[in-house]
Every structure is written in C-alpha cells, then in structure tokens.
Amino acid sequence: MAGGKLIVFSAPSGSGKTTIVQHLLKLEKLNLDFSISATSREPRKGEVHGQDYYFISLKQFKQHIKKEEFLEWEEVYRDNFYGTLKKEIERIWAKGKNVIFDIDVVGGLRIKKKFPKETLAVFVKPPSVDELKIRLKKRKTESDEKINMRIAKASVELATAPQFDFIIENIDLDIALNEAKELVEKFIHEENE
C-alpha cells in the first residue's frame, strides 16, 4: 500500500472529533476523503451503510480478520468490532486524495505505528469527563448504561493522549476547528515539498 497522507483524529466519544473531521472534509484545499470504518454493530437512527459505516455481520467481520483484510481492527465492546478495511484506503488513494480518519484511540495509534511518516495523529481532548457525560446525554442516542460504559472507557483513552503527535483541547469549538485546520494544512504541505 502506497499513496497519500493519513490524518487520524481520535478521542473519547463526545469530544467533538466527528465535528472537527466533518469541518476539515469541507475544506477542498486539504484534498481529504473520509475513511469509512467497518463495524459489526447495528446502525443507529439516521446512519447510512457505506456513508457512516460499512455495517457488516459479526461473522463477516471475523472472516475479514481471518483473511487479514483490515489495516487495523478492534473489539471495542463485547461483540462490537470496528476496523479499517485496507481496500478503503486504497479506494481513497486511487482518487489521489489524503485519508482522514474519525477513529478510536487504539485504531489511531495502530495506523500511526504502521505508517509513522505518512500519518498525522491528533487526539481531541474534552474539557473534562463531566462535560463529556453532558455531551453524550444531549445526543439522546444511547441508554444510560451505554453512556456509563463510554465514560469508563474515556478515562483509559485520555491516558493515551501523550502518544499522539498533537492534542487539541476542545473547550471552544471554533478554536479547535482552526487549530485542526492549521495542523492538517501544515502536515500536508510539509510532506509534499
């Protein structure tokens, strides 16, 4: 596999990484395309197969693992697998674009480890765990039990922040968006000189 750059945004759920990634995708000069992850979980309301995720069965997911067709994968919660198919990256690189990921911290660090020079790994840090809980509750997409699972996981994820190239603290969204744009712009520009 060879091609463009890999831009990884990782964070605990509710930190704002998806909002940042969506903003960056709109900036044409960055020449980005979104890496659609595969997952074995059921779609949430409004999610579209092939746009938000590739929704595949647990059995299919395990077959892809066996055939080594993932760049990275992880069992995030019991029987809830997420991963990046190698053919997804090849699809984007074939279009001459840079790949941007909205991905969990373990997956983000695995990509950075496999492609250290081609990857910019950015961790989006929430103001606090309490604020994270408020944001997750406002979404109204998950039960209290799921939210509590995400909060417990967030503490572990926050400890990985120093392993990333940069940390963006998302206290003020406009500042975070601008910081993200500048980091990505600089990385793409430097690497292409």
- 193: confidence class by pLDDT, cuts 50, 70, 90: very low
Q: At what angle do helices 144-158 and 129-139 cross, to 10 degrees?
A: 140
Is there a domain that residue 1 lies in?
no
Q: What is the CATH number of the domain that holds 144?
A: 3.40.50.300
Per-residue pLDDT of 11-25, as tens digits, reads: 988 788 999 999 999
Is there a domain that residue 193 lies in?
no
Looking at residue 189, its pLDDT comes to 84
Total domains, the chain: 1
Domain boundaries, position 103: 6-188
| Cα 49 to Cα 36: distance, rounded to the nearest angstrom | 9
pTM score over 0.85: yes
| Cα 145 to Cα 164: distance, rounded to the nearest angstrom | 29
Is there a domain that residue 166 lies in?
yes
| Statement: residue 2 has pLDDT above 70 | no
Residue range 149-166: mean pLDDT, rounded: 89
Is there a domain that residue 101 lies in?
yes
